Amino acid sequence: MTTETAETGVAQRRRLLAIALLCVFLGGLGGLWAAGTGSSGSTPVRFTPPPGQARDFRLRDQDGKWATLRAARGNVVVMTWIYSTCRDLCPAEGNIVSDAVKQVGHGVQTYVISVDPIGDTPERVKGWLQRRQFPAGTARYLIGSRAELAPVWREYAIAPVNATPQEAQAAAVQADKFRAMFAAMVAKNGGKPPPPRPYVHPKRPAAPDASDPYPDSRDLKYRGPPRHIAGLDFEHSAYVMLVDKHGNQRVGLPFEQLDAKALAQDIQLLEQEP
């Protein structure tokens, strides 16, 4: 067996492990929802990704600069998957991550990776980061074409939005209009936005397929009715992955279990390692 063949085999096994792991994690979400997770006093659920270095990639950020995981060595990396025109779950997740990063204050870098190559334009993702109020220099929103993003999705077992390019573009335009209407309402109110309403996880039983030992992570229908305001085609898989200062993937947190204080503590523990 050649070195190249062996390396290919290892990469394939890692991908299969990652996909199997995420399938188990996604399959468990239905039970977690039904149990009403995220309540105060409960210990957030975490999952342990396959040991070893996180697979590197090369994507452009919101400013057109190239970003790689290797370039972030020395910092703890918070990595997640988002689309900027989402109006419910993605902003909630972004706010939680931003709050955690603010609590830590240093030694951390956030990589937000697009799941919508059509709607995630540089202008939109810059606005998304600004609304989350990440501390300066601590967050990069990585975008690209579908061909550029697809290898990253595959490596980390991410199912992107399933909308057609036309549907994605129409949804993004509609989201822009909604944001403009909201800005006009705030301006009319003397620049004072309405009080924020925290995202509340839906309380409903999971679809029967969620009980399968290894549900297909690419098929999001098994989770039941869509959670996204834009419908099922804008559902996507997402979790938060923490990568340590040496580039090793260490811990993952499902969105339903994401808590700013607990996330900040995890980041700080990784920061304190030699």
Q: In the chain, pLDDT over 70 holds for what percent of residues?
A: 70
Report yes or no: 272 and 53 within 8 Å, Cβ to Cβ: no
Confidence tier at 207 by pLDDT (50, 70, 90): low
The DSSP bridge partners found for residue 67 are 59
Q: Would the pLDDT of 158 be above 90?
A: no
Helix, coil or strand: residue 113: strand
Q: Would the pLDDT of 136 be above 70?
A: yes
The candidate with the shortest Cα–Cα distance to 112, out of 155, 142, 138, is 142
Q: What span, in angstroms and rounded, lies between the C-alpha atoms of 114 and 143?
A: 5
pLDDT the model gives residue 10: 47
Tokens of 167: 């549907």
For range 110-138, the mean pLDDT: 95
| Total-model pTM | 0.73
Supply the CATH classification number for the domain 3-272.
3.40.30.10
At position 156, the amino acid (one-letter code) is: Y
- What is the end-to-end Cα distance of the chain in Å, rounded? 37
The candidate with the shortest Cα–Cα distance to 72, out of 253, 249, 240, is 249
- Read off the pLDDT of residues 31-77 as tens digits, 9 standing for 90 and up: 222 222 333 345 667 788 888 999 999 999 999 999 999 999 999 99
